[in-house]
Each structure stands twice: as C-alpha cells, then as structure tokens.
Structure 1
Amino acid sequence: MCLFVASLNSGSNGNCYYVGNDHDAVLIDAGISCRETETRMARLGLSMRKVRAIFVSHEHSDHIRGLAVLAKKHNLPVYITPLTLLHSGLQIAAGLLRSFCADVPVSIGSLTVTPFNKLHDAAEPHSFTITCGDLKVGVFTDLGAVCENLIAHFQQCHAAFLEANYDEEMLERGSYPYHLKRRIRGGKGHLSNKQALALFEDYRPYFMSHLFLSHLSKDNNCPELALSLFKSRSTETEIVVASRYTESALYQIAGAGQIALPVLSTQFSLF
C-alpha cells in the first residue's frame, strides 16, 4: 500500500492538500474555490469520487474559502470542531457536519486521520496526520512555534507538508507594519525558515522521503531561498516547494527503503 499526496495550493491566498490511496482520499482544508479544486485535481488525474471527507484546520479564510460549495456539490462530510465552525461563519448542511477531538483518530475508509492541537491565533486550531497501514503523512502549517505535539508527530512521518512561512531578515526589512510583523513571529503566527529547518534537522526520521515546504509568504520569503536552505542540509529527503499559484506534482509515498517519486508533473511553474 502507498499514499499519494499533492498540494493543490499553499499560501495566504488559499490552502488545500490531498492525501489518499488507491481507494480513499481526504482533503485537508479547502481554501481555494470549488472549481479550482476540481480543475487542479483533474490535471493531476485525481478523482473527486475518491475523496471521502474534508478536514478543517481552523477558520481563517485561506483555509475555508471554497469549503461550503465544495462540500455541498460533492456531498462531502466536513470534519470541523464546534468552536471553529462558530467562528468561521460557514453555512454547512447539518447532515454533512462531523466533529472531531484532538488526539482521537478518525477512520475514513482505509485511512486514519489524527488531529492534534497546535499553536496559532485561531479559535481551536489543529494539525493532522493521515495514516494508511504503516505509512504516515503530516500536514503541519499555520504554526506559531514548534511544540511537543508537533515534534512527536513529525518524527513519525514518511512525508510532511511543513510550514516555512518567512525569512527572518526579509520580514524585518519588509514593509509590513510592526503589529503584523509581531503577529507573524509572536508564537501564535507562523514558522520561519529557520524554525522549520531546526525541526527538520533535529527530528527528521530516517525514513522521511519527502518534505514539502508550505505556506510560504509572498512578501517575506522566496521559494528559491527556502529550497536552497533545506537542500543544503538534506541528502536523503527530497525537498519540494508547495506553490501558492498552482498544484504540485502528485507524489507517491512508499515505505522505508522503497522509491517515492512524482507520479505526474504539471506543466506549470512551481514558483
């Protein structure tokens, strides 16, 4: 058994991540439009018929913008905490709503999705791991700091989407107002390249085949900079930048000692 993963979009303009196997799949967040989600999945050869549920990390608009339409059109269950739903303003049919609790695994067909608490300035924010057999993929974005929860789950992942939101010098020199800079780096905002790299270097499991650098800031980071930084410290894990403009390739994640390669590359630039 293997897992297939792709970023459909990653950034402050919208976040949506696909994880699945040959039979079942889930979306983590739905921050781009229903039409764009469908279009990008189709370009990757992915079928909405395999998607069994959408999991919502928190209520910020770049994670839920396309959720209501997508769930309604495809009759998809939406896993969301009551507090996140309350703060989101979403109008979701009651029959599609499902709740979840931190650290309580949720079975979705042949997949298991485990939510856990994270540090972010939202009502009840969560990150997720998705497991199939012995394989585990993490979706870890919108992180104010590296906490024990994050470390414990990161150490178990064969592949992970990990936030590398900003370069510290670019943020400091940039045009953002002081209050926004303080929010970004204040412990409940976002992870810097340096913080993400420290997590990777200190806690990367030997079997991690892929790391997808995610949620890069348009103004305070540079894809080439982040990619170069991580590649200089990685010899066994492939580093990929998840774009804010288009979908990534579709990657097949296999077990330790097996080959994990792109299944399909898109015709568009990652950057």
Structure 2
Amino acid sequence: MVLTCIGSSSKGNCYVIQNDSEALIIEAGLPLLEAKKVLSWNIQKVAGCLVSHQHGDHAAFAKEYTDAAIPLLAPEETIKAKTLGYSAKAVTHGKCYKLGNFKVIPFNVYHDVPCVGYLVWHKEFGKLFFATDTYAVPYKFNGINHWLIEANYSDEILDSNIISGRVPAVMRDRLMLSHLSIDNAIGVLKRNDLSQTRHIVLLHLSDGNSNEVEFVRAVRRATGKRTIAAKKGVELNL
C-alpha cells in the first residue's frame, strides 16, 4: 500500500492510501479531481472516504465524493452541514466500520466543532492512526504501525509571531483549543506503545507557526522512529 498526500494544510487536506485493487481516501478538503489523478482515474477501486469534521479545508468537497457514490464516513454534524448524499454514514465513537478490506474505528477528539480521528486496519499495512484538528488525544493505542498525527504549531514560534505582530494575540487561545502543538503531538506519541511503529507522519503544519525541519527532528529524537512531514506530493510505502 502507498500513502499519497494531496494536501495537508489550511488550503486543503486529502490523503489517498492505495494498492492496485483498492483505495481509501482520508479527508475531502480538495476536489475529487485531485484524488482521481493520484488514483490514475480509477475511482471504482475506492472503498470509501473518511472525513474528520465539517471545516472547509477537510470537507469542502465532500459532496463531490458522495455524488460519485463513494461511501463516506463522517460525524453526523458534518453530513448535515454539507448536505451529503445517501452514501454518507454518520459515525459513532468506538464502533467498527468495514469499507472493502479496510476496517475503521472512529474516536472522538477535541476541536471547535464535532471532530473524530480514525484507527484504520488493513492486512497489508496493519494499524494506522489518523488524528488532526484536535488539541488533545486522551486515548492509548496498542500496536500502531503508522501514525498520521497533527503537529500544527510550536508555542515558541507562535509567541514570537504574536510579539512581532505577525499573528493576532487572540489566535493563541484559538489554536490551543483546536489544534495539536508539536509538543503535545510528541506527548501523545510518548504515552503510547511505539514498539510496532514503522512511520510517523506529521500533518497540517501551520504555514507561519511551524518549522518542518525542526518538528521532524524533534519527533525523531523523542521516538527513535522514521518521521516525515506531510505535504503535497509526498508518498510513503506503508
């Protein structure tokens, strides 16, 4: 299986996991056309799409996916806000869903609108964790092979930007209550069992309040695991 990042920022988030015969899309914050390109135009092999919440950079194009009859899992509030079609199903925390050969368990996280993360299992890559747009992940997971985890901002960079006037002071409280900082992301990883972990992928880095090189280095140092930052065009063999 190959993971491809189509976008991982406030401009739009979308990821594709695929092999020759099946695929799973995570987030619908970019047009279906962009996913089709990565899929070599074969959307028939798409088992489903997972959406974390209703904000535009994660769900703006969700209706394109349901209009194409792609099964889509999302919080109930997202389905209502985006008036999604019959192929959309509202998820329940802790319940297991099957999309083709992918098994998916959503879990509630903490944003300024209802939001979920996902635990995904497939026989080819094992267990994959996905969480973004949350200020905390209060759960422990065993045997995760691949972590896709938000690392949106650094407290130090954010404070420097506020002092210099580049970022409004009110932004600090909003970020602290809606997004995962690099320090908190590292905290989540260190609280969990990483013995089976093969990859850590940092998601949704802020354009102005993060440092990709330093974030990747910090996570590698803290975990000893291969770490990369998600950005357009990045591919990873799971």
TM-score normalised per structure 1: 0.79
1:230 to 190, 205, 219: 219
Matching of residues 102-121 of structure 1 within 5 Å: 102-121=93-112
Q: Is the 8 Å Cα contact of residues 135 and 181 (structure 2) preserved in structure 1? A: no
Aligned to 1:85: 79
Output the CA distance in 2 between the equivalents of 1:92 and 1:84: 8
Aligned to 1:260: none
Which amino acid counterpart does residue 96 of structure 1 have in structure 2? S
Q: Say which SS state the counterpart of residue 233 (structure 1) adopts.
A: helix
Aligned to 2:49: 54
Output the CA distance in 1 between the equivalents of 2:217 and 2:91: 38
Aligned to 1:262: none
**Structure 1 position 239 matched with structure 2 position 234:** no
Q: Which has the higher strand share?
A: 2
Alpha-carbon shift at residue 248 of structure 1 (Å)? 1.2
Alpha-carbon shift at residue 22 of structure 1 (Å)? 4.8
Output the CA distance in 2 between the equivalents of 1:64 and 1:46: 21
Alpha-carbon shift at residue 47 of structure 1 (Å)? 3.8
**Structure 1 position 125 matched with structure 2 position 115:** yes
Q: Is the 8 Å Cα contact of residues 117 and 132 (structure 2) preserved in structure 1? A: yes
1:146 to 137, 151, 160: 137
Q: Say which SS state the counterpart of residue 10 (structure 1) adopts.
A: strand
Superimposed CA distance per residue, residues 114-165 of structure 1 (whole angstroms, 9 cap, x where no aligned partner): 101111111x2110011023811111111112312xxx23x33100111111
Gaps of 5+ in 1: 254-271
Percent pairwise identity: 23
Output the CA distance in 1 between the equivalents of 2:183 and 2:151: 8
Output the CA distance in 2 between the equivalents of 1:202 and 1:234: 11
Cα distance change, pair 157–6 in 1 and its aligned pair in 2 (3 A): farther
Output the CA distance in 2 between the equivalents of 1:85 and 1:176: 32
- Name the stretch that deviates more: 197-206 or 53-62: 197-206
Q: Is the 8 Å Cα contact of residues 24 and 111 (structure 1) preserved in structure 2? A: no
Find runs of 4+ consecutive structure 1 residues off by over 3 angstroms. 20-23
Kindly tell me the number of residue pairs found equivalent between the two proteins.
233
Gaps of 5+ in 2: none
Q: Say which SS state the counterpart of residue 136 (structure 1) adopts.
A: strand
Cα distance change, pair 78–22 in 1 and its aligned pair in 2 (3 A): same
Which amino acid counterpart does residue 247 of structure 1 have in structure 2? G
Output the CA distance in 1 between the equivalents of 2:18 and 2:144: 15
